[in-house]
Chains A and B, each alone.
Chain A
């Protein structure tokens, strides 16, 4: 396919007047990025083995701490998750989930607070499907780290996120909060 070269004048400017590109350009860029990230993840796993998960987790956690700084600190887990959901936006759209036999979303278990999160829209899942990689691999640890980092930052506690189940349309994860870990 032939591509048309765009020629124009470039001036120093504080705010670019023109971003350029239509939806096809953005789509192409998105797909190249997906392939690039997928390829990086698979190479990382090849070189570092299970250490790849830890590296990606750490990267996600750092991002989560940064994002958490934008949210007001609170001890209310439900409020924290609500605000984080807004920051994560529609690309990581999640909701609290509970089985029909359970009364509350948030439960207490041996001094730990447990809540199940259902991630419906996820860019990581889309990237894995674009590149043909399996779920639950290193890239999934990015979101794992992100959530843990963000919750730690907002609530000033220690948390962990376990992957319960992955599917093509949604993934169920369990967020566990250790209050003693302040």
Chain B
């Protein structure tokens, strides 16, 4: 099953992931002003939340990671050396 971790220190509480998730996996924790995971079992690992999160505050574990053949391997190897 998918496991989702939210880095509460990184989360800015913008609520973008709450709005974007089609399966209502997230909710806002009004007390903390941060996102919390409420329906992990409904996550289909589309990773829209990753794309929209301005703080890159989440991690998904145990998911099918889609192939990324669109990434140029030569460019990637140069970036790996730089970063």
Chain A residues close to B by CB (< 8 Å): 27, 30-31, 34, 90, 93, 97, 99-100, 118, 120-123, 125-127, 129-130, 164-172
Contacts and interface: CB of A to CB of B under 8 A. Distances in A.
Interface residues of B, number: 22
B39 A172 contact: no
A8 B70 CA distance: 32
Which residue, of B45, B65, B67, has the highest number of chain A Cβ atoms within 10 A? B67
A122 B63 CA distance: 16
Interface string B45-70: 11110110000000000011111111
Given A166-B46, A167-B48, A126 B68 contact: yes
Contact of B63 (A99, A129, A169): A169
Nearest to A128: B70
Contacts of B65: 169
Nearest to B46: A167
B72 A31 contact: yes
Given A30-B69, A170-B66, A99 B42 contact: yes
Contacts of A97: 44
Contact of B66 (A34, A100, A125): A125
B45 A130 contact: no
B66 A118 contact: no
Interface in B5-28: 22-23
A168 B44 contact: no
B79 to A, nearest CB: 16
Given A120-B66, A165-B46, A168-B66, 11 more contacts: A27-B72, A122-B66, A123-B69, A167-B47, A168-B46, A168-B47, A168-B50, A168-B51, A169-B65, A172-B22, A172-B44
A121 B67 contact: yes
Contact of A99 (B23, B46, B48): B23
A169 B73 CA distance: 19
